[in-house]
Amino acid sequence: MEHWNHGIWKGWNMGILEYWNIGWREAPSFPIIPLLRYAIIPICLLLLAGCGQSQGNVPVPPTPAAGSEKVPPKAQDDTAADPAAEITPPAEPRAPVSSAAERPGQLAAGFGPVKIGVLPLTELARPSGGSQRARLHIFVAMLDAFGSPVKAPGVLRFELYEYVPRSAQLKGQRLALWPDIDLTAPAENHRYWRDFLRAYEFELDAQTGRDKTYILAVTSLSPDGKRLSGEYTLKPGQ
């Protein structure tokens, strides 16, 4: 093998020397094809020697020791810890609940009485003669938020006041205070109720004078503590 390589290099060197000795002018007539033939052989040998080189000289990256390799932490999954969470069914739509069922107090407030109305049928009837005693006929309507008369339990109180004209406070001295009328019991409530008028009717004795104006004050106290009041002016001739 060494003899063969020595012959190749010898032929190569001789060809190069002959090429330079010929000179620049005679270079075109110099047979370069035989020289290429000699040059191809050593180039191929060099390539083959490089391909067959042992891989022992190639650096190999170090292998990390067992247990020292850093493993990125896995993302925590709550569903893995709780198997039941993976099979949780979707929430069913909630049925609509009326506000009245959630807040029963507002139901009574919306449809219960919010105002007291005294009907114009109310009058102070005086007997014939010069007697000062009279009969007071009162018609009271309990009105809800829409102005409709309704039945309502409660305690009613009636007061009669002197009328003071041309005054900022029309109510003067109180002349009469009758006992409270309890309408809490259904039977007692229905006793005073006049369905054709949608109102309650009461008759009270009164000690009044003739040709005078009075103010009738009506107060209602419901079982839940709600207090309502209303006034009505009783003019002469009523």
CATH of the domain at 143: 2.60.40.10
Which pLDDT belongs to residue 118? 96
Q: Does residue 229 sit in the same domain as residue 117?
A: yes
57: in domain:
no
89: in domain:
no
207: in domain:
yes
**Can you tell me the distance from the alpha carbon of 158 to that of 2, in angstroms, rounded to the nearest whole number?**
143
- Name the 3-class secondary structure at 99: helix
By C-alpha distance, which of 213, 229, 218 is closest to 164?
Answer: 213
Range of the domain at 24: 2-50
65: in domain:
no
Q: Does residue 136 sit in the same domain as residue 39?
A: no
Which pLDDT belongs to residue 107? 47
103: in domain:
no
- Domain edge (last residue) among 10, 28, 50: 50
Place of tokens 């032929």: 11
Residue 199 token pair: 């109102």
Q: What is the pLDDT along the chain (238 residues), one digit of tens a residue?
A: 555 555 555 555 555 555 545 544 454 455 555 666 666 777 777 776 665 555 555 555 666 655 555 555 555 555 455 555 556 666 665 655 445 445 555 545 568 899 999 999 999 887 666 566 788 999 999 999 999 999 999 999 999 999 999 888 889 999 999 999 999 999 999 999 999 999 999 999 988 877 889 999 999 999 999 999 999 999 876 6
- Name the 3-class secondary structure at 69: coil
200: in domain:
yes
Q: Does residue 34 sit in the same domain as residue 135?
A: no
**Can you tell me the distance from the alpha carbon of 231 to that of 13, in angstroms, rounded to the nearest whole number?**
140
93: in domain:
no
Q: Does residue 118 sit in the same domain as residue 196?
A: yes
Total number of domains in the chain? 2
Q: Does residue 125 sit in the same domain as residue 229?
A: yes
Q: Does residue 117 sit in the same domain as residue 45?
A: no
Whole-angstrom distance between the N-terminal and C-terminal Cα of the chain? 152
Which pLDDT belongs to residue 87? 62
**Can you tell me the distance from the alpha carbon of 127 to that of 210, in angstroms, rounded to the nearest whole number?**
11
